[in-house]
């Protein structure tokens, strides 16, 4: 149960940081933040999961 509470706390923290970043126009990622470029499925080639591709 403590783990769920910690996960929720981190999710809230991340939301707050994202809102602050939007307000202050910060475009570079925070240290340790991994940004996944937004793209439509298949735009960067097929998405392969196991032996199936989508």
pLDDT of the residue at 27: 65
Tell me, yes or no, whether 10 lies in a domain: yes
Tell me, yes or no, whether 22 lies in a domain: yes
Tell me, yes or no, whether 9 lies in a domain: yes
Domain total in the chain: 1
User: Which domain range does residue 17 map to?
Assistant: 1-28
pLDDT of the residue at 25: 66
Tens digit of each residue's pLDDT (9 = 90 or more) over 2-54: 999 999 999 999 998 888 877 776 666 667 777 666 666 556 666 667 776 54
Tell me, yes or no, whether 5 lies in a domain: yes
Tell me, yes or no, whether 33 lies in a domain: no
Tell me, yes or no, whether 43 lies in a domain: no
**Which of 18-48 are b and which e, b meaning 16 or more Cβ less than 10 Å from the residue's Cβ?**
eeeeeeeeeeeeeeeeeeeeeeeeeeeeeee
Helices (H), the chain: 2-24
Tell me, yes or no, whether 3 lies in a domain: yes
Element containing residue 47 per DSSP (H, E): none
pLDDT of the residue at 13: 92
């Amino acid at each position: 149960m403590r783990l769920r509470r910690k996960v929720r706390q981190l999710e809230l923290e991340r939301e707050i940081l994202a809102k602050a970043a939007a307000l202050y126009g910060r475009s570079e990622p925070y240290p340790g933040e991994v940004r996944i470029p937004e793209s439509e499925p298949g735009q960067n080639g097929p998405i392969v999961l196991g032996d199936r591709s989508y």
